[in-house]
Amino acid sequence: MGSNEHEIGVVGTGIMGAGLAEVAAAAGFSVILKGRSQASADAAFAIIEWSMARQVKKEKRTPEEAAALLTRVRRTTSYHELAGAGIVIESVAENMDIKREVFAELDRVCAADTILATNTSTLPVTELAIATSRPGQVCGIHFFNPATLMELVEIVVPDVTTENTVARAAAFVSDCGKTPVRVKDVAGFVVNALLFPYLNNAVRMAEAGTATAADIDLAMQGGCNMPMGPLALLDLIGLDTAVSILGTLAKAFAEPNYEPVPLLTKMVENGHLGRKSGQGFFNYGD
């Protein structure tokens, strides 16, 4: 059976999984959103419903458009439902062992011509590709957070990936109204390799007490015209995800500046993960 280019699979129901599903459904694709449990798939769907309600309230979408978008997102807990998708994007936790398991399942059930993509921020896409029976049809499709708002998508291209896969991935990204940038499979790609030393150094400053968290952010917003300060950005990314990204970069480049600052690691150990846990450098309690 061949795959259906109008159907997109999303594996993972965290911050990025929900965002990716909304972006693809907004572009008119049928989306199959796979969670580990029905509850996690339902929670991600609820985020999309909340987003639709907000867009209707702001008159960015009619109620009919919002309702139609929601009908294009199907929830599941079964890999088999992803079998016929043209592209499946894996967006589970930033951990190679977990991603490898997900890719093994996808490789087993998906149609021979389905593209298996990863939304990883830093992990080696080549390693995921060569572990499958279809290395030519694996690439990174790296969206940014929040996926609904951010325009850039990095298409990460291992040496083993075919040009046809790159073209199909780039066409999908363009259909989603985003701008694709082609990048080699090097840790951190373009954006995170440049961004994370800056974020890590902002934590170092907070740790040293150079200024308060609020003032560090205010300084970079006012002094460099950043739309958001580095510590608020870390809270948005998720501090656990940030620690994983920094760890991979530190290993890849043997560069001490990438080693997660102890304060960051300590905050993760204390369950302070940023917005998703309600507490990070700033408080998000209601």
Ligand X SMILES: NC(=O)c1ccc[n+]([C@@H]2O[C@H](COP(=O)([O-])OP(=O)(O)OC[C@H]3O[C@@H](n4cnc5c(N)ncnc54)[C@H](O)[C@@H]3O)[C@@H](O)[C@H]2O)c1
Residues that bind ligand X (CB under 6 A): 12-17, 36, 40, 91-94, 98, 119-121, 143-145, 237-238, 241, 276
Q: How many CB atoms lie within 10 A of CB 162?
A: 16
CA–CA distance, 32 with 3 (Å, rounded to integer): 13
Residue among 147, 171, 179 nearest 26 (CA): 147
Closer residue to ligand X, CB minimum distance, 26 or 125:
125
Closer residue to ligand X, CB minimum distance, 216 or 246:
246
Closer residue to ligand X, CB minimum distance, 15 or 27:
15
CA–CA distance, 179 with 196 (Å, rounded to integer): 22
CB of 209 to ligand X, least distance (A): 27
Closer residue to ligand X, CB minimum distance, 61 or 90:
90
Set 40, 121, 200, 244: catalytic member: 121
Long-range contacts of the stretch 197-202 (C-beta < 8 A, 24+): 197/257, 197/258, 198/230, 199/230, 199/233, 199/234, 199/242, 200/246, 200/257, 200/258, 200/259, 200/260, 200/261, 200/264, 201/257, 202/229, 202/230, 202/231, 202/234
Closer residue to ligand X, CB minimum distance, 36 or 184:
36
- Alpha helix locations (H) across 3-95? 15-26, 38-57, 63-71
CA–CA distance, 102 with 178 (Å, rounded to integer): 26
121 flagged as catalytic: yes
CB of 35 to ligand X, least distance (A): 6
Closer residue to ligand X, CB minimum distance, 211 or 226:
226
Set 119, 192, 200, 244: catalytic member: 192
Which residue has the closest beta carbon to ligand X? 14
- Alpha helix locations (H) across 119-229? 125-130, 163-175, 191-208, 213-224
Set 154, 200, 244, 272: catalytic member: 154
Set 7, 142, 200, 272: catalytic member: 142
142 flagged as catalytic: yes
78 flagged as catalytic: no
CB of 71 to ligand X, least distance (A): 22
CB of 234 to ligand X, least distance (A): 9
What is the greatest pairwise CA distance in the chain? 60
In angstroms, the Cα distances linking 227 to 96, 159, 217, 221 are: 32, 35, 10, 6
Residue among 69, 113, 58, 65 nearest 88 (CA): 113
Active site residues: 121, 142, 154, 192
